[in-house]
């Protein structure tokens, strides 16, 4: 065996061992300190949004970066406050009504299933005492609504994310250059390039996802209002927020809408299924591919697996951030492994420049 072949083999073994060690270390840190890292990533994601808005203002209005960042942050929070002020009374009232409506719908579904043999077997699997099941539904809805309330832990985490995002967005070069200094001098330009591509990927993903969320929320509100569905705005708001979670979110958002429809009639529930299903079909097969065709392409099966994994490990926040995290991981794999290792070795073997 030639020295070159021995060197190439040793290099591959070293790379494989390093990647294996990195994966093991990553899973260890994820298991031990996952929540902290997810908060940091949430801050990075928000900083990317602020930076994207800031860069747009600098490019279009030719404002100084500091002033552009201030305008971007004020606009972001201004939209949230204005939306809350406009829809909070209606949505809050409807959410309270939903606490009584959903358990009634669950009872109706159980009574309908009991009419059939297969349905009775299914009903037998749930608790016999529905008085226990209904409080469980109330508890679930209380937990959902409490996510929007000002609890101490939520405010502390939210403050950490906001403050960190503002620091990152105010001077992103300070942190990216500092991060590249952890690597050998010859690799720093490549690391900076990969960080730039990761930023572009997250920015594109955010723009696409926020656009899809707005379309789903507005379309659902219009559709539910046209058919006279009770609690239309609250259900549309749920659809809007859960659209942020690909694959899983739409199913979770559609269930309470169908249950509320059942409290009116089976025909209303059918209308809800048709409208919400139509919105999801248009969003999934027309809008989303159009938005993401030149930005972020995440394999659906891989994304679903990653969502389940992070959901098991860290619950709601893991499920919430699974898609953008996977988008960054795909950039790292494509740039640092496929291009810099596999394709570079192929180019060297064929005598071409990598």
Does residue 136 belong to any structural domain of this protein? Answer: yes
From 8-17, 79-88, 246-255, 304-313, the region with the lowest mean pLDDT = 8-17
From 30-34, 200-204, 253-257, 300-304, the region with the lowest mean pLDDT = 30-34
Taking residues 260-266, what's their average pLDDT? Answer: 82
Q: pTM for the full model?
A: 0.72
**How far from the centroid of its chain's Cα atoms is residue 140's Cα?**
21
pLDDT at 227 over 80: yes
Question: How many domains are contained in the chain?
Answer: 1
Taking residues 153-176, what's their average pLDDT? Answer: 87
Does residue 64 belong to any structural domain of this protein? Answer: no
pLDDT tens across 40-75, in order? 999 999 999 999 999 999 988 888 988 999 999 999
pLDDT at 222 over 90: yes
Closest CA to 276 of 209, 211, 205, 226: 226
CA–CA distance, 233 with 222 (Å, rounded to integer): 9
Does residue 34 belong to any structural domain of this protein? Answer: no
CA–CA distance, 331 with 199 (Å, rounded to integer): 10
pLDDT tens across 316-326, in order? 888 888 889 98
pLDDT tens across 135-149, in order? 444 444 454 444 444
Question: Which residues neighbour 333 within 8 Å (Cβ) at sequence distance 6 or greater?
Answer: none
Does residue 67 belong to any structural domain of this protein? Answer: no
Does residue 267 belong to any structural domain of this protein? Answer: yes
pLDDT value, residue 91: 64
Taking residues 3-14, what's their average pLDDT? Answer: 66
Does residue 71 belong to any structural domain of this protein? Answer: no
Average pLDDT, the chain: 78
Higher-scoring residue by pLDDT: 289, 168: 168
pLDDT at 250 over 50: yes
pLDDT value, residue 148: 44
* Nearest-10 crossing angle of helices 185-226, 316-332: 130
What is the pLDDT confidence band of residue 279, given thresholds at 50, 70 and 90?
Answer: confident
CA–CA distance, 131 with 136 (Å, rounded to integer): 9
What is the pLDDT confidence band of residue 247, given thresholds at 50, 70 and 90?
Answer: confident
Domain that holds residue 122: 84-154+171-349
Does residue 165 belong to any structural domain of this protein? Answer: no
pLDDT at 159 over 80: yes
Does residue 123 belong to any structural domain of this protein? Answer: yes
pLDDT at 155 over 90: no
């Amino acid at each position: 065996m030639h020295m070159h072949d021995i060197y190439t083999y040793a290099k591959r073994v070293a790379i494989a061992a390093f990647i294996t060690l990195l994966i093991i270390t990553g899973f260890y840190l994820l298991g031990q300190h996952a929540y902290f890292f997810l908060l940091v990533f949430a801050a990075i994601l928000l900083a990317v949004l602020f930076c994207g808005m800031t860069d747009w203002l600098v490019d279009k209005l030719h404002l100084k970066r500091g002033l552009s960042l201030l305008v971007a942050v004020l606009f972001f929070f201004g939209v949230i406050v204005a939306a809350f002020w406009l829809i909070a009374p209606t949505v809050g009232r409807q959410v309270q009504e939903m606490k009584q409506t959903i358990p009634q719908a669950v009872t109706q579904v159980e009574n309908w299933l009991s009419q059939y043999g297969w349905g009775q077997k299914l009903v037998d699997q749930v608790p016999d005492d529905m008085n226990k099941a209904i409080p469980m539904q109330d508890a679930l809805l209380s937990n959902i609504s409490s996510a929007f309330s000002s609890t101490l832990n939520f405010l502390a985490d939210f403050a950490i994310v906001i403050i960190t995002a503002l620091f990152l967005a105010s001077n992103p070069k300070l942190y990216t250059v500092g991060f590249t200094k952890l690597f050998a001098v010859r690799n720093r330009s490549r690391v900076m390039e990969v960080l730039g591509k990761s930023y572009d990927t997250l920015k594109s993903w955010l723009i696409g996802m926020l656009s899809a969320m707005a379309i789903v929320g507005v379309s659902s509100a219009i559709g539910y209002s046209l058919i006279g569905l009770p609690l239309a705005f609250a259900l549309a708001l749920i659809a809007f927020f859960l659209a942020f979670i690909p694959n899983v979110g739409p199913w979770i958002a559609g269930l309470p809408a169908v249950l509320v429809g059942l409290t009116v009639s089976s025909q209303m529930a059918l209308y809800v299924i048709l409208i919400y299903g139509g919105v999801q079909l248009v969003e999934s097969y027309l809008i989303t591919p159009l938005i993401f065709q030149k930005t972020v392409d995440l394999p659906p099966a891989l994304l679903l697996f990653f969502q389940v994994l992070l959901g098991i490990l860290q619950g709601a926040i893991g499920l919430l951030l699974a898609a953008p995290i996977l988008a960054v991981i795909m950039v790292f794999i494509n740039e640092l492994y496929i291009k810099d290792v596999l394709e570079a070795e192929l180019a060297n073997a064929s005598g071409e420049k990598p």
